[in-house]
Amino acid sequence: MNWLSLIVSLFLTGIAGYFIARIKPSLGAWIAMAASCAALLLVLLGGDALPGGPAWGLIRFEVTPLGWFFSLLIILVFSTNGIGSLAAKGRQHREPVYTMLYLFALAASLGVFAAENWLALFIFWEIAVWSSTFAIGLGNGRKGSVSYFGMSLLGSLMMLFAILAMGSAYQTFQIREALTTALQNPGPALMVFILMLGSSMVKLGIMPFHIWMPPAYTEAPDEFAPALAGGLSKLGAFTAFLVSAYLPISGFMGGSWRVKGLPALSYGLVLLASASIVFGTLMAIRQEDAKKLLAYSSAANGGYIIIGILMGTSMSVSGALVHLLAHALATTTAFSVLAVIVRQTGTSRMDALGGLAHRMPLTFLAFLTAILSLVGLPPMLGFVSKWLILQSLASQGLFLPAAAVVFGSIGSMLYAFRILSTVFLGQLKPRHRALQESSPGVLLSLAILSGATMGLGVYPSGLIQYTAKIEASLGMSETVQTAGLSIRGINGNLNALLIMGAFLIGMVIAGAIFFKAPRSRKVDLMDTYTAGEFIYSPELYHYGTQFAAPFERIYEKLPSISRVYAALASLTDDLGNLVKYLFFSPMPSRTALWISVVTILLIWGEVL
């Protein structure tokens, strides 16, 4: 088995899946699940020694540790999501074409991660873009898929430009060769770097490019949103790793200004990513829709990844890789849970929900692990990555980005608690009394995802060793070190198992006191202290709207970036209108006039 045959068979399964699902719609989900699980097995068993397979023209594969890491991540997301979507009865999910698009997106992503040259990478990248665009389009709403495609296209065209600039300047499209040649002959190196990183930022939803995320995540079919948020948006990080490893800014702008040891350009980009963290966090806090909240939090989390990549130290790069995985696992979990909720209640507006934890406790626990990981609390994987990134920021003395990271972490407590409190805690609405716990398939996928989040959070050494291997394969001189169970940082060590141990000891003590004390009586949720107020209904007794109002008021005038894009679109519209008015009028006389004017101008220009 090799990579080429894996990808080709995924594509073919997708096509076959379409026709089978046309005959029997319920089989579509099973095919998507089975194919992605088989791919997971294969990639896991094959490891990063899996051969790329024969070259098929430009389409050549080469499995690298980085590519393998990303592939495993995305297949994990797709296969668990596939398991979780089995029981979905949604209309969109049962479209035959959904199976095809789902597997196309997966196969194309795998193609991106193992591509040997930029052109192959770009081809698969674009296939992933349009297949996911159509998958989003199967959902409700009009804006999501178009803005996703528009922004993705902007990103891919930036990348295409960079690829062709390298290809034309250095006569090679081989990924590593092209970038390292650019390092030695820095003609268009700066342009290539900016464009490549720009395209990554679009995909990751870094600030000026984040506008596609909220509508796309909200409008995508509920079963596709986890794959999109957890898997496909991570494509951007892959090229960012490649570019910053083989074409580091310090390599082609070495002599220029430096801030805190970073080249000024890196520092500027780090600041941009920091702005994305702050902005994403602020926006997430004031959302009323759970999916939008998570979308903005993704924009913020993309910032951590970019900061980690751009700092370029062994710890920060490792932190970025771990954060990528942590965020992928957490968002996939969160969106899968939201899919369950939307399927049962028909809404993802937070104030319309509440108290669901009492109806679906296991789902709640999975969601809790995801949220804790998003906030970056131990013993979850998100903590390990934040620790690594903060350590490297502190040791580099990048205080401004560090402040942004800290703000993002603390601010995430606010929105994380908000989503927990308004969706799962608080009053259960009477109309939601009949809600069911998630189906076994969903629970299995949630168990895998949150098990990974927690397991790797407690025992990250193996993962860190693998990130060290990735760093070595990217040619970094230093790699992140582990010693026994602990990660060796620059100015401190982290032993996640020890933290978990201390926490568990605390838990034992707390539990001992708790169970030693007299048993308490269970009362209804409405049976609470109301300070003398009358309460009428659970609906009115749930605090869910404008949750952080005192805080939101401070920045209610924050300008929206999507307005810039809207202005650009309406500008294009106006131009189109003008063109139509001037040049496409139904009056032949006007055409004749234009012909004469242009002729005179041209001939005049020539005679002069």
Partner 1 sequence: MIAYQSIGTALGMALFAWLMQTGLSGVDRKITARIQKRRGPVWYQNFRDVFKLLNKRSVTHGWIFDLGLLIALAGAIGTAMFMPMAGIIPLQGYDNFFMITYLAALGVFGRALSAGASGNPLAAIGVMRGLTQNIGYKLPYMVLVIVLINYYKTSSISGIAALQQVQGWSVLKMPLGVLVAFISLHGMLGKKPFDTYLAPSEVASGPMVEFGGKYLGLLNIAHEIAVFVEISLFVNLFLGGGATLAEFLLKYMAVYLLSSCLGAVMGRLRVEQVVRFYYKVPIGLTILQVLLFTLLYGGVS
Partner 2 sequence: MMNLNPVLTIALPLILAFTKIMYRRIANLFLIVGSLINIFVVMFLKEGQYLMGGYRPPFGIILQVDTYALYSLLVLNVLFAALMLLVTKKAENLTSSSLIALAALNGLILTGDLFNLFVFLEIATIAALILVSSIKKYHQAFNYMVAGAIGSTFYLLGLGLLYKQYGTLNMARMHELMAASPSGSAVAVILIFIGLAVEIKLMPFSSWAAGVLKNADEWIGPMIGAIYGGVMMIVVGRLFTDIFVMDAKVRLMLSLLTLITLVGGEAAAFQSRKVREVLLYSGVAQAGLEALLILNGYPAIGFILVLSNMTAKYVMFLLAGYMAEEAGGDDFDRLTGVFRSNPVHGFAFTVAGLSLAGLPLFFGFIVKLNLLYNLMLSHSYWLPALILSASLVEGIYMLRMILGLWRLPEGHRGGLQVRILGSSHRRKYAVYTISMVLSLALILFGLAPDNALSIARRARGADTDGKPLVLITMKGGIGQ
Q: Alpha-carbon torsion 449, 450, 453, 455, what sign?
A: negative
Distance CA 306, CA 310 (A): 6
Residue 493 vs 562, nearer CB to partner 2: 562
Residues 104-133 that bind partner 1 (CB under 8 A): none
Residue 160 vs 337, nearer CB to partner 2: 160
Contact criterion met (CB below 8 Å) for 487 and 460: yes
476: its two tokens: 């970094």
Does residue number 236 form part of the binding site for partner 1 (CB under 8 A)?
no
Does residue number 433 form part of the binding site for partner 1 (CB under 8 A)?
no
Binding-site partner at residue 434 among partner 2, partner 1, none, CB < 5 to 8 Å by type: none
- Find, among 417, 82, 189, the residue nearest to 180 by Cα: 189
Q: Which range binds partner 1 by CB under 8 A, 4-12, 441-449, 459-467, 527-535?
A: 527-535
Distances (CA, A) of 96 to 1, 49, 102: 28, 35, 11
Residue 507 vs 567, nearer CB to partner 2: 567
CB 594 to partner 2: min, Å: 4
Binding-site partner at residue 550 among partner 1, partner 2, none, CB < 5 to 8 Å by type: partner 1
Residue 275 vs 548, nearer CB to partner 1: 548
Q: What is the DSSP string of 259-296?
A: ETTEEHHHHHHHHHHHHHHHHHHHHHHT-SBHHHHHHH
With H, G, I as helix, E, B as strand and everything else as coil, classify residue 483: strand
Contact criterion met (CB below 8 Å) for 210 and 276: yes
Residue 34 vs 561, nearer CB to partner 2: 561
- Find, among 300, 246, 244, 312, the residue nearest to 275 by Cα: 300
* Interface pattern 534-553 for partner 1 (x via CB under 8 A): -------xxx---xx-xx-x
Burial code (b: 16+ CB inside 10 Å, e: under 16) for 483-505 equals: eeebbebeeeebbbbeebeeeee
Q: Verify cis geometry, omega within 30 degrees of 0, for the bond prior to 379.
A: yes
CB 570 to partner 2: min, Å: 10
Binding-site partner at residue 355 among partner 1, partner 2, none, CB < 5 to 8 Å by type: partner 1
Q: Which residue of 430, 440, 511, 576 would you call a contact of partner 1, by CB under 8 A?
A: 511
CB 129 to partner 1: min, Å: 36
Does residue number 383 form part of the binding site for partner 1 (CB under 8 A)?
yes
Residue with tokens 């052109």: 119
481: its two tokens: 């070190």
Q: Which range binds partner 1 by CB under 8 A, 46-54, 165-173, 520-528, 556-564?
A: 520-528
Residues sharing a CB contact under 8 Å with residue 486, sequence separation 6 or more, in sequence order: 461, 493, 494, 495, 496, 498
Binding-site partner at residue 548 among partner 2, partner 1, none, CB < 5 to 8 Å by type: partner 1
Does residue number 459 form part of the binding site for partner 1 (CB under 8 A)?
no
Contact criterion met (CB below 8 Å) for 190 and 166: no
Query: Count residues contacting partner 1 (CB under 8 A)?
Result: 87
Q: Which range binds partner 1 by CB under 8 A, 46-54, 117-125, 351-359, 449-457?
A: 351-359
* Half-sphere exposure at residue 514, Cβ-oriented, CA atoms within 13 angstroms: 6
Does residue number 390 form part of the binding site for partner 1 (CB under 8 A)?
yes
Q: Which residue of 163, 272, 372, 374 would you call a contact of partner 1, by CB under 8 A?
A: 372
CB 170 to partner 2: min, Å: 11
Residue with tokens 């189906």: 439
Beta bridge partners of 289: 349
Q: Which range binds partner 1 by CB under 8 A, 42-50, 353-361, 469-477, 566-574?
A: 353-361
Residue 26 vs 596, nearer CB to partner 2: 596
* Strand (E) or helix (H) holding 482: strand 481-483
* Identity of the amino acid at 150: G
Count of Cβ atoms closer than 10 Å to residue 345 Cβ: 17
**Which chain residues interact with partner 2 by CB under 8 A?**
57-59, 91, 117, 119, 122-124, 126-127, 129-130, 133-134, 137, 140, 142, 145-146, 149-150, 153-154, 157, 160-161, 164-165, 167-168, 171, 173, 191, 569, 572-577, 579-580, 582-588, 590-592, 594-595, 597-599, 602-603, 605-607
Residue 483 vs 567, nearer CB to partner 1: 483
Binding-site partner at residue 536 among partner 2, partner 1, none, CB < 5 to 8 Å by type: none
Residues 402-421 that bind partner 1 (CB under 8 A): 402-403, 406-407, 410-411, 413-414, 417-418, 420-421
Residues 157-216 that bind partner 1 (CB under 8 A): none
Residue 554 vs 579, nearer CB to partner 1: 554
* Strand (E) or helix (H) holding 42: helix 26-46
Residue 410 vs 603, nearer CB to partner 2: 603
355: its two tokens: 């108290």
Contact criterion met (CB below 8 Å) for 126 and 156: yes
Binding-site partner at residue 361 among partner 2, partner 1, none, CB < 5 to 8 Å by type: partner 1
Residue 164 vs 414, nearer CB to partner 2: 164
Does residue number 364 form part of the binding site for partner 1 (CB under 8 A)?
yes
Residue 168 vs 477, nearer CB to partner 2: 168
Binding-site partner at residue 38 among partner 1, partner 2, none, CB < 5 to 8 Å by type: none
CB 426 to partner 1: min, Å: 6
Residue 130 vs 407, nearer CB to partner 2: 130
Q: What is the DSSP string of 47-116?
A: GGG------BTTB-B---HHHHHHHHHHHHHHHHHHHHTTT---TTTT-HHHHHHHHHHHHHHHHHHHBS
255: its two tokens: 């002599």
Does residue number 308 form part of the binding site for partner 1 (CB under 8 A)?
no
CB 491 to partner 1: min, Å: 5
Binding-site partner at residue 580 among partner 1, partner 2, none, CB < 5 to 8 Å by type: partner 2
Residue with tokens 């395209």: 199
Distance CA 341, CA 531 (A): 33
Residue 536 vs 604, nearer CB to partner 2: 604
Phi, psi of 122 (to 5 degrees): -65, -40
223: its two tokens: 């079963």
Distance CA 319, CA 301 (A): 12
Beta bridge partners of 482: 487
Task: Report the DSSP pairing between strands 481-483 and 486-488.
Answer: antiparallel
Residue 239 vs 266, nearer CB to partner 1: 266
